[in-house]
């Protein structure tokens, strides 16, 4: 059995990778065991984060059984600075590590680094035993911009659990957004698009997530846009209730890697309307298992929602195709075995 030490956000902590690690922690296997070590990036007092980082450093340096593999979750900014230190310790100790790149803004982050830091980041990637990315776009980026060899690169998409059977659809379709309610998630364009729909087409839009609105623009739009419900942050069980009552999942993000909210919507049999960001086009076939619209295009977003709201057979067909795609490729039951193949390569490589 391979012992895996996972460095990064703990299971079920805030953010997509924390949710993803929670899903992973609840899987079972006879071939691997996981130890999750928070690396200091979780929200909280500075002293607590520094203590967590110290414990992560100790986990990299202290004695471990032969064959232990480190799984290093990586995003941009602070995550990268912490992981440069941790992987540096692993390299000194000659321990294999797998980098798991999940930050949607990594290309922009790398472009803005100075030469010294760029060299350091490239060295971290090239010294990894393996690098896991979420789609073809990111495989090309890591290969071309960071110089990682093809033999080390693995595409393993995010995955989520889903219900064994779908709930009965509501007679009045609800549109659901799940995530932080921010400009970066395209909420301004979404509210503009929603408000432009004809009154006889527009039903109910649910924004499920924390509001982050420093300039007040979203708040002002919420005050003037009809038929919108905001829930604030939802835990897993309450989010499931919203998914069970929704018919359409909309995500108008400006930047993503592979959003878990999209996969959740597919798992629950919702028809997705999403922007063409990150690895979305690897998951969705436009017009078949979802609707892909350009970033920052409220008119196209409104058109897609209007078609799906007005045409029930088409909406149902898209939702069924999305659910089938999730069952085939993005169900959490397949996820752990794919990672275990990477760990085996890291141990023997």
CATH, residue 145? 3.40.50.2000
Q: What is the mean pLDDT of residues 170-195?
A: 95
165 in any annotated domain: no
319 & 199 share domain: yes
185 in any annotated domain: yes
CA–CA dist 243, 266 (Å, integer): 10
23 in any annotated domain: yes
Q: Residue 103 sits in which domain range? A: 2-159+331-348
142 & 37 share domain: yes
Residue 187 has pLDDT above 90, yes or no: yes
Position 105 confidence tier, pLDDT thresholds 50, 70, 90: confident
249 in any annotated domain: yes
Residue 181 has pLDDT above 90, yes or no: yes
Q: At what angle do helices 260-267 and 312-325 cross, to 10 degrees?
A: 110
pLDDT: is 139 or 348 the higher one? 139
Q: Distance of CA 173 to CAs 90, 156, 243, 312, 315, Å?
A: 51, 33, 12, 9, 10
pLDDT tens for each residue of 255-266: 988 899 999 999
Residue 205 has pLDDT above 80, yes or no: yes
Position 104 confidence tier, pLDDT thresholds 50, 70, 90: confident
Q: Is 12 exposed, middle or buried (0-12, 13-18, 19+ CB in 10 A)?
A: middle
245 in any annotated domain: yes
29 in any annotated domain: yes
136 & 65 share domain: yes
The answer to whether the CB of 257 falls within 8 A of the CB of 104 is: yes
CA–CA dist 199, 190 (Å, integer): 16
148 in any annotated domain: yes
Q: What is the pLDDT of residue 170?
A: 77
Q: What is the pLDDT of residue 333?
A: 87
Count of Cβ atoms closer than 10 Å to residue 328 Cβ: 9
143 & 270 share domain: no
Q: How many independent structural domains does the chain possess?
A: 2
DSSP letter, residue 78:
H
126 & 227 share domain: no
216 & 73 share domain: no
180 & 110 share domain: no
24 & 72 share domain: yes
325 & 214 share domain: yes
198 & 75 share domain: no
Q: Which residues pair with 207 in a beta bridge?
A: 177, 230
The answer to whether the CB of 302 falls within 8 A of the CB of 194 is: yes
319 & 220 share domain: yes
CA–CA dist 33, 50 (Å, integer): 26
CA–CA dist 285, 318 (Å, integer): 10
Ranking 68-77, 145-154, 165-174 by mean pLDDT, the lowest is: 165-174
Residue 14 has pLDDT above 80, yes or no: no
209 & 223 share domain: yes
Residue 212 has pLDDT above 90, yes or no: yes
15 in any annotated domain: yes
Spatial CB neighbours of 128, under 8 Å, sequence gap ≥ 6:
72, 87, 97, 98, 99, 148, 152
Residue 17 has pLDDT above 80, yes or no: yes
Q: What is the mean pLDDT of residues 78-92?
A: 97
């Amino acid at each position: 059995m391979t012992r895996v030490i996972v460095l990064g956000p703990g299971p079920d902590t805030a953010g997509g990778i924390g949710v993803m690690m929670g899903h992973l922690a609840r899987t079972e296997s006879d071939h691997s065991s996981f130890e999750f070590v928070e690396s200091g990036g979780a929200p909280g007092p500075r002293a607590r984060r520094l203590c967590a980082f110290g414990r992560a450093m100790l986990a990299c340096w202290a004695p471990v059984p032969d064959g232990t593999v480190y799984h290093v979750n990586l995003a941009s900014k602070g995550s990268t600075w912490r992981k440069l230190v941790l992987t540096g310790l692993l390299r000194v100790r000659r321990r294999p590590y797998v980098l798991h790149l999940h930050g949607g803004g990594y290309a922009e982050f790398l472009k803005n680094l100075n030469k010294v830091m760029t060299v350091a980041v490239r060295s971290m990637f090239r010294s990894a035993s393996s690098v896991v990315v979420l789609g073809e776009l990111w495989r090309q980026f890591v290969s071309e911009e960071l110089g990682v060899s093809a033999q080390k690169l693995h595409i393993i998409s995010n995955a989520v659990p889903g219900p064994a059977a779908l709930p009965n659809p509501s007679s009045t379709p609800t549109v659901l957004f799940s995530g932080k309610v921010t400009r970066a998630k395209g909420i301004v364009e979404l509210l503009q698009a929603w408000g432009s729909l004809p009154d006889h087409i527009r039903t109910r839009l649910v924004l499920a997530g924390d509001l982050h609105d420093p300039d007040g623009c979203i708040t002002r739009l919420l005050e003037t846009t009809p038929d919108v419900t905001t829930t604030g942050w939802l835990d897993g069980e309450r989010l499931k209730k919203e998914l069970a009552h929704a018919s359409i999942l909309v995500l108008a993000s400006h930047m993503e890697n592979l959003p878990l909210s999209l996969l959740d919507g597919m798992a629950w049999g919702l028809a997705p309307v999403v922007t063409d960001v990150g690895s979305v086009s690897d998951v969705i076939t436009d017009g078949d298992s979802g609707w892909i619209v350009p970033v920052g295009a409220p008119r196209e977003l409104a058109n897609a929602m209007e078609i799906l709201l007005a045409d029930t057979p088409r909406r149902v067909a898209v939702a069924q195709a999305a659910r089938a795609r999730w069952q085939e490729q993005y169900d959490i039951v397949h996820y752990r075995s794919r990672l275990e193949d990477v760990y085996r390569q890291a141990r023997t490589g």
